[in-house]
């Protein structure tokens, strides 16, 4: 059963200069399409990962999922409730209570003036719930000491701060957690500890994750389903084994070829060709065609639609 259903999701930002500057320079308004017609579903108690280069729209999708940003068009339904368009306040409040987010930078997301105890119980205290002993219990659950509840965020290492962020996310007993690159600021050994903790918590508490990352190794380790984004468009979706063993889209193939591989130190890999196009003025047809070695005339003229190809879904005219 799908806990989250994303349909034709689009987000456009107005990045125009101020009115007077446009008037003097005789410029039109400028719009940046951060997310373009993205659709996917997240099954309950699974991990759905979004990967792609910086600027591909991963974090924007995560923020729309938790309600921090509104879609320009399309819908995000959680338990069949569209937070952007639902008018029943009780339904919105019930769904919001089931969603939490873990941010990329643990220190920036923790209030430096609050003690860890107050940070962790804030989601519960805001709703008038019982908070006595909650922080200490959650700290022990994420591998820290109950005595740490009285400390401030600056007294912890990066990995410990991220564990505090995980404890805060668990405080309200959510069903869905959006993880926006939660391990990218950590070193490799600490990354492994945090990922193993998140995986154990998912199994123990029946959590559902939307996991956002640019690290393919991390994605392969934790995911049940992977979506690949390019310039705000979903270009491929598959189970991790299928995606890593038999990538269908040329962009996915490029990402996997460029990724570091254990046991292939010193290998000679040609750098990816071209640069990501300007999202304010994206290419016609397939957004990847200026960099694609398989591009044909149809790729420049017609945007490919997602289609099923064996065990995967791919948006590519040339994929076989």
- pLDDT tier at 267, thresholds 50, 70, 90: low
Mean pLDDT of 241-262: 86
- pLDDT tier at 87, thresholds 50, 70, 90: confident
Using alpha carbons, select from 2, 4, 3, 7 the residue that is nearest to residue 234: 7
Mean pLDDT of 32-47: 94
Mean pLDDT of 96-101: 90
Residue for token pair 């008018």: 87
Residue 269 reports pLDDT greater than 70: no
Which pLDDT score is estimated for 4?
A: 94
| Helix and strand totals (H; E) in the chain | 11, 12
Mean pLDDT of 38-44: 95
Residue 237 reports pLDDT greater than 80: yes
Mean pLDDT of the chain: 89
Mean pLDDT of 79-94: 86
| Fold for the domain defined by 2-98+174-260+272-314 | Rossmann fold (3.40.50)
Rounded distance, CA 211 to CA 229, Å? 13
DSSP E strand boundaries for the chain: 2-14, 31-43, 47-51, 73-78, 81-82, 99-102, 176-180, 208-212, 225-230, 233-238, 307-309, 312-314
- pLDDT tier at 266, thresholds 50, 70, 90: low
Long-range CB contact pairs, 243-251, < 8 A, 24+: 243/312, 244/216, 244/220, 246/310, 246/312, 248/309, 248/312, 248/314, 248/316, 248/319, 249/288, 249/314, 249/315, 249/316, 249/319, 250/288, 250/292, 250/293, 250/294, 250/316, 250/318, 251/288, 251/291, 251/292
Which pLDDT score is estimated for 273?
A: 73
DSSP E strand boundaries for 24-133: 31-43, 47-51, 73-78, 81-82, 99-102
Which pLDDT score is estimated for 2?
A: 87
Q: Quick one: the chain helix, strand, coil %, rounded to 5?
A: 35, 20, 45
Residue 270 reports pLDDT greater than 80: no
Residue 216 reports pLDDT greater than 90: no
Residue 220 reports pLDDT greater than 90: no
Residue 126 reports pLDDT greater than 90: no
- pLDDT tier at 262, thresholds 50, 70, 90: low
List Cβ neighbours of 105 (8 Å cut-off, separation of 6 or more): 185
Which pLDDT score is estimated for 182?
A: 87
8-state DSSP, 67: T
Which pLDDT score is estimated for 265?
A: 62
- pLDDT tier at 208, thresholds 50, 70, 90: very high
Exposure on the CB side of residue 111, measured as CA atoms within 13 A: 11
- pLDDT tier at 5, thresholds 50, 70, 90: very high
Residue for token pair 């070193």: 187
Residue 104 reports pLDDT greater than 90: no
Which pLDDT score is estimated for 54?
A: 85
Residue 268 reports pLDDT greater than 80: no
**Structure token digits, residue 69:** 């940003």
Mean pLDDT of 287-311: 90
Task: Enter the pTM of the model.
Answer: 0.90
Spans of all domains in the chain: 2-98+174-260+272-314
């Amino acid at each position: 059963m799908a806990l989250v259903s994303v349909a034709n999701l689009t987000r456009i930002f107005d990045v125009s200069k101020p009115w007077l500057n446009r008037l003097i320079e005789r410029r039109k308004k400028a719009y940046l399409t951060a997310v373009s017609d993205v659709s996917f579903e997240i099954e309950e108690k699974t991990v759905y990962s979004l990967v792609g280069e910086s600027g591909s729209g991963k974090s924007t999708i995560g923020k729309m999922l938790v309600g921090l940003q509104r879609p320009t068009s399309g819908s995000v339904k959680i338990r069949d409730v569209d937070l952007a368009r639902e008018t029943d306040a009780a339904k919105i409040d019930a769904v919001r209570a089931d969603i939490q987010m873990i941010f990329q930078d643990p220190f920036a997301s923790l209030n430096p003036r609050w003690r860890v105890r107050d940070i962790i119980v804030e989601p519960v205290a805001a709703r008038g719930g019982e908070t006595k002993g909650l922080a200490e219990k959650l700290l022990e659950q994420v591998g820290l000491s109950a005595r740490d509840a009285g400390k401030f965020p600056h007294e912890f290492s990066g990995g410990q701060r991220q564990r505090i962020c995980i404890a805060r996310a668990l405080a309200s007993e959510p069903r869905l957690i959006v993880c926006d690159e939660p391990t990218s600021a950590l070193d490799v050994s600490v990354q492994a500890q945090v990922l193993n903790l998140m995986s154990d918590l998912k199994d123990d508490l029946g959590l559902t994750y939307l996991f956002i990352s640019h690290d393919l190794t991390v994605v392969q380790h934790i995911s049940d389903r992977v979506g690949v984004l390019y310039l705000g468009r979903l270009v491929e979706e598959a189970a991790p084994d299928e995606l890593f063993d038999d990538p269908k889209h040329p962009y996915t193939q490029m990402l996997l070829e460029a990724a570091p591989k254990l046991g292939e130190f010193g290998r000679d890999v040609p750098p990816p060709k071209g640069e990501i196009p300007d999202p304010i003025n994206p290419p016609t047809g397939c957004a990847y065609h200026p960099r694609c070695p398989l591009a044909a005339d149809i790729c420049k003229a017609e945007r490919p639609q997602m289609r099923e190809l064996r065990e995967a879904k791919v948006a590519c005219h040339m994929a076989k």
